[in-house]
Structure 1
């Protein structure tokens, strides 16, 4: 065994028993870590009311090395019989940050580890998991390469792990494997590692010095929320309108009443009008729109639940695409938002 990574059970509640179990199993009596205790004090507005409950976080097995000075539940490292044992928080975001920023770099240089590893995570959209697996099967046959597939929120994330006997060999294997993945998957890959689709779209808009606007019906502001969650989004996102009712589509977006009457709110004609009219109203060169039936009610034989039209105005031209999504209301809204953002991404890449 080269190393051990343990997650969870480091918190302040009575069911968080990792440190106690380790102290007993490895005969490492718990000791109070003053640095963590001080961090807890500094973060509490009312130390007298909560310090006793949170002090448990500062009791670590003897010999434990704290991994990060930034957080009070920062994880720690024990070396037992020359084997490094890393203890990480159970919260996925916290564990991932420590793993990427601290644990993996430490392992790469650990004298007990005879391999150098390199990791990369590719994020794809628009291609099913089994198709990606088929495309990458030849790469999986390589002895020093491992590929994994993980469906995450209507995306498929592809993990790439390579190992070599030296840092140079590992770097070469990573570069070669990355190129093979990019050659096969192409623009189905929208980003790597921690990048989000909204962040990638924002970077493309910034590069092209464009401002985006969004007219949303069935997503109810979800697209705007995802875009504005990216720091600095005011540089490339002008704003959005939630035009849920026909009245708002007419009043705020100037959608012709005849279009709504003749084709219905859920139609390509209305999607195109929403995108084009919003662009004209707020003065952006690119604008997207979504209109559809998220359910669970409202569907018809002609337009069942999950029917969604996405409109896109760019370079004085407007187009729409029809989609049929499945799932519950939340899933349909999320798939619509993802597909709309990916539509913007692809148009900007083609430009």
Structure 2
């Protein structure tokens, strides 16, 4: 079964409201074995919405609309659906009484405009709204289904989970669409492709997509199967093939986050960490401490933006800065060793670089970053050249440092 989502509201097109509903709906549809093939956003214009509904009903089996079911003048969905399906609005006294009781139970007088919520399209089936006042509407015509639900996330989520997904599961006979993300770091999308291109088969039931970001590249594997057990088995087999080729770059799966993986590894090995930051301005420490329980392994950090702090707090020799500069492998090395000793940590990590947009030179351009890692075994430094803006360079530097920590803990070369 193929589906289309139509999200309705000027606020979505104007950028005043972020559409978080689509991600939730896409995930739930996949669980029900329904392919979300299209997502259309329409403003509060009746003609535009009628056109979008007509197009959707012609090209998919199931249409879900969100928004526009409220009682005010700009909530146009009910009227548009009546026009499209050639239905009349019918007054339902039982629904009005139920609304009045709900308001009465809350000790609130129901606004007169809410009486409009009892006017519903003739012949439509209803979905109970356990949270708000707008009912969901179900239309079935010519083997096609259209369901309209409120745009309020909590109301939409309850209807989709409790009513729509069970209905779809009956129609798809238990089929599922299952996704798995292989989360990688420290390798570019093109480099991944070169390593795995021989196992990517467009005719395979497992579809592959690369999802790059400044934090790393996710590889999404998608399979449709008769049940979840078969889907998981197929995904497990394919995952093993990817691990054979790019295993050292895979840090986790699905919703795993690199900072949490670092925390798990540090806890497992009973090791502690401290950081010295310059161009990232505390972002590395902030990212590490975003994880609950990080106090068990994170000692602390120093933001040594000025050279005198590098010298006075981290024991970076002045001659090192004079000879090589603050942005250098040598300074990164001393910073990592200094913070490790200063905080009494097992591992010390440093970041120094030119985040930009100014401050670069031909020898040391904007985006040049050095990261150091000191342990009881040795101290290593790595040079990175990020061709990006200031904010992005800081994020990429932070995640490059996290990847160095991960590889150190796993003894990956």
TM-score, length basis structure 1: 0.78
For 1:65-144, what aligned pairs fall within 5 Å after superposition? 65=128, 79-81=138-140, 83=145, 85=147, 102=161, 106=165, 110-114=169-173, 115-134=175-194, 135-136=196-197, 138-144=199-205
Gaps of 5+ in 1: 42-46
Equivalents in 2 of 1:270, 1:277: separation in Å? 10
User: What CA deviation, in whole Å up to 9, does each residue of 1:271-312 have, x standing for no partner?
Assistant: 111111111111100110011111122222221211111000
Contact 1:292 1:309 in 2 (8 A): yes
The count of residues paired between Structure 1 and Structure 2 equals 329
Which of the pair has more CA radius of gyration? 2
Q: 1:297 to 1:240 in 2, by over 3 A?
A: same
Alpha-carbon RMSD: 4.1
User: What CA deviation, in whole Å up to 9, does each residue of 1:79-133 have, x standing for no partner?
Assistant: 4427475858699xx9xxx69x959x94797011143222112222222223333
1:337 positional shift: 0.9
- 1:267 aligned residue (304, 328, 340): 328
- Matched with 2:346 is 285
Mapped pair 1:24 → 2:83: no
Which secondary structure state, in structure 2, belongs to the residue aligned with residue 194 of structure 1? Answer: coil
Equivalents in 2 of 1:60, 1:262: separation in Å? 80
For 1:87-236, what aligned pairs fall within 5 Å after superposition? 102=161, 106=165, 110-114=169-173, 115-134=175-194, 135-136=196-197, 138-236=199-297
> Which stretch of structure 1 is more off in the superposition, 213-222 or 177-186?
177-186
> Which stretch of structure 1 is more off in the superposition, 160-169 or 313-322?
160-169
- Matched with 2:313 is 252
- 2:370 aligned residue (300, 309, 314): 309
User: What CA deviation, in whole Å up to 9, does each residue of 1:46-66 have, x standing for no partner?
Assistant: x99xx98xx9xx999872355
Q: 1:87 to 1:137 in 2, by over 3 A?
A: farther
1:11 positional shift: 7.9
For 1:49-60, what aligned pairs fall within 5 Å after superposition? none
Which secondary structure state, in structure 2, belongs to the residue aligned with residue 148 of structure 1? Answer: strand
Gaps of 5+ in 2: 18-42, 45-66, 70-74
- Matched with 1:44 is none
- Matched with 1:64 is 127
Contact 2:68 2:151 in 1 (8 A): no
Q: 1:64 to 1:108 in 2, by over 3 A?
A: closer
Which secondary structure state, in structure 1, belongs to the residue aligned with residue 177 of structure 2? Answer: strand
Contact 2:68 2:150 in 1 (8 A): no
Equivalents in 2 of 1:59, 1:184: separation in Å? 60
Contact 2:178 2:224 in 1 (8 A): yes
Equivalents in 2 of 1:185, 1:216: separation in Å? 30
Which secondary structure state, in structure 1, belongs to the residue aligned with residue 302 of structure 2? Answer: strand
Which secondary structure state, in structure 1, belongs to the residue aligned with residue 364 of structure 2? Answer: coil
Equivalents in 1 of 2:193, 2:167: separation in Å? 28
Contact 1:7 1:87 in 2 (8 A): no
Q: 1:9 to 1:180 in 2, by over 3 A?
A: farther
Contact 1:279 1:286 in 2 (8 A): yes
1:249 positional shift: 0.7
Which secondary structure state, in structure 2, belongs to the residue aligned with residue 143 of structure 1? Answer: coil
Q: 1:60 to 1:90 in 2, by over 3 A?
A: farther
